[in-house]
Structure 1
Amino acid sequence: MTTRRDFLTSVGALATGVLALPTLAHAARVQDIGLQLYSVRDDMMRDAKGTLTSLAKMGYKEIESANSAKGYYYGLSPKEMKQLMQDLGMTLRSGHVGIDNNWQKAVDAAAEAGQQYLVCPSLPTQGQTVSNYERCADTFNKAAEACKKAGVQFAYHNHDAEFAKDNGRVLYDVLLEKTDPRLVAMEMDLGWVVVAGQDPFSYFERYPNRFPLWHLKDMKKGEAHSTVLGTGRLDVAKLLRGAKKSGMKYFFVEQEEYEGAPLASMQRNITYLKGLNY
């Protein structure tokens, strides 16, 4: 089964859903649910417009794209993607694109598509050392400057490898400490944080307001594989109650593996969230 990390490697993208923050004063119901489109990557490659129409009918509202073999928007131009989102009552809130020689092109496309965020989904250079993570932090600060000039917010998305240690330091913490919080936001993938044996709430306490974006991804018990929300090891309701401390503004449902059709899993995910009180 192809995982997101396998996919990113195979396409060379990184050499290379979302939920509006609800009122937290009272017990809340989930609203404005959105999705990371990697969850339906094959469907998007076959029929982007038809797939997005199906997701809109399910009730997904906010969308995060992922770079693909057909480009940033699955064969659509930035303007076409923006118009399609408007026609379907959706918002293209964010997109995943690796930092490479085409970064400025990606930034310009994000601005044209009306995105608020542009997210780098893995390290631009590899190496599980403090020195490499410091270099990556410098790269992120520079990439974020280009985003800022275009009116787009830069963010970085973690997997589990970032929580390894080098010389006693957690490498993810190096990124948090060496990036400019005014320029570099973090998109926390909750599933990978849990797989790495870390507590998201610890990060919310130590680095409040650094995580305006989340990936809400449930993980199978004892495995590093994603599953339908509510069937794995994440306490989704508890995590949502931590949204304010983290600074979360939106989160994106993401599921990488399935036991049936991807769109059927997306229906199960949104049904679960619509019925959730937290």
Structure 2
Amino acid sequence: MKTRREFLKTSGGMVLGGLFLPYLTEAAKVKNVGINLYSVREPMLADAKGTLEKLAKIGYKEIESAKSVKGNYYGLQPKEIKQITKDLGLTLRSGHVPVNATWQKSVDEAAEAGQDYLIAAGLPSRGQTIDNYKKVADIFNKSAEDCQKANLIFGYHNGGSDFAQENGQTLYDVLLDNTNPDLVKMELDLGWAIVGGGDPVQYFEKYPGRFPLWHIKDIKKDKAESTEFGKGRIDIAGLLQNKKKSDMKYFFVEQEEWDHSPLESLQYNYGYLMKLSM
């Protein structure tokens, strides 16, 4: 088993195998790496400012918050996290919140925090049926109008179950087909889309302009759990080559489970990305 020192050393000095070499000469280096704060939810709850400082030191630039037991910004006020991130050279770009009774409060806080996007972290009503996804589409259309009034862009972050089918129709497609393409954008979680049976590239081609945000993660080969980049079944390097096809604006690293500590895993993932291109 690697020591912690060996693990961190590897994250900063990874050598890519021949599989990825073609990409190094075909595209620009990865930059402006984002992080979804759910990846460091426990450290954020314990010390939000200190954790943001550590993420900035690693090299992350774009921040996506996520609702917690302490609110949408891990106990920080909207103006407070706006100033902290600015001082650290970070940009608070987006946030994950539920579409529920506190929705308008979340919209108001996002506007005050100065972020660009507000993302529904899950479906506001349960049911893996076409009828429910049409109902959700109506809710999302209204939510997007609320965001537009506040100069925010609304989006939805998928899970793997969104790619289930009913009567031959993929539920995620029902959602895309029944929402306003100008107002309702998608934050495609590439890992869970693939695990659920979706092909991200096909979606980029079928629904142009709908995917300005990505979540990138690797998934273990033997179970549906996230892992450090390069250790699982997701072709991170290959997917990054589709940035232009997707018209992707920002992407966020997300890792829900760890073999090491969250910050060690995120250090490793950042080092991995620095060896790739897009």
Provide the TM-score with structure 1 as the length reference. Answer: 0.90
Mean alpha-carbon deviation: is it higher for 252-261 or for 197-206? 197-206
Displacement of 1:204 after TM fit? 1.0
Partner of 1:169: 169
Partner of 1:12: none
Describe the SS at the equivalent of 1:39: helix
8 Å Cα contact 2:240-2:277 kept in structure 1: no
Displacement of 1:102 after TM fit? 1.0
Partner of 1:182: 182
Aligned AA (1:208): P
Partner of 1:131: 131
Per-residue CA shift, 1:140-172, capped at 9, x if unaligned? 000010000000000000001111111111000
Mean alpha-carbon deviation: is it higher for 235-244 or for 33-42? 235-244
Per-residue CA shift, 1:105-163, capped at 9, x if unaligned? 10000000001000001100001110100000000000010000000000000001111
Partner of 1:147: 147
Partner of 1:203: 203
Displacement of 1:247 after TM fit? 1.8
Return the index of the structure with the highest Cα Rg: 2
Aligned AA (1:123): L
Partner of 2:22: none
Displacement of 1:38 after TM fit? 0.3
Partner of 1:44: 44
Describe the SS at the equivalent of 2:110: helix
Separation in 2, partners of 1:198, 1:95: 24
Displacement of 1:28 after TM fit? 1.5
Mean alpha-carbon deviation: is it higher for 219-228 or for 183-192? 219-228
Displacement of 1:49 after TM fit? 0.3
Separation in 2, partners of 1:207, 1:230: 28
Note the 1:1-278 alignment, pairs <5 A.
26-278=26-278
Q: Name the Cα RMSD after superposition.
A: 1.3
Displacement of 1:243 after TM fit? 1.2
8 Å Cα contact 2:161-2:196 kept in structure 1: yes
Provide the TM-score with structure 2 as the length reference. Answer: 0.90
Partner of 2:21: none
Aligned AA (1:232): G
Aligned AA (2:223): E
- Percent sequence identity over matched residues? 60
Displacement of 1:26 after TM fit? 4.5
Structure 2 stretches of 5 or more lacking a match?
1-24
Separation in 2, partners of 1:269, 1:144: 32
Partner of 2:19: none
> Which portions of structure 1, spanning 4 or more consecutive aligned residues, are displaced by more than 3 angstroms?
none
Displacement of 1:203 after TM fit? 0.7
Describe the SS at the equivalent of 2:156: strand
Separation in 2, partners of 1:204, 1:222: 27
Describe the SS at the equivalent of 1:89: coil
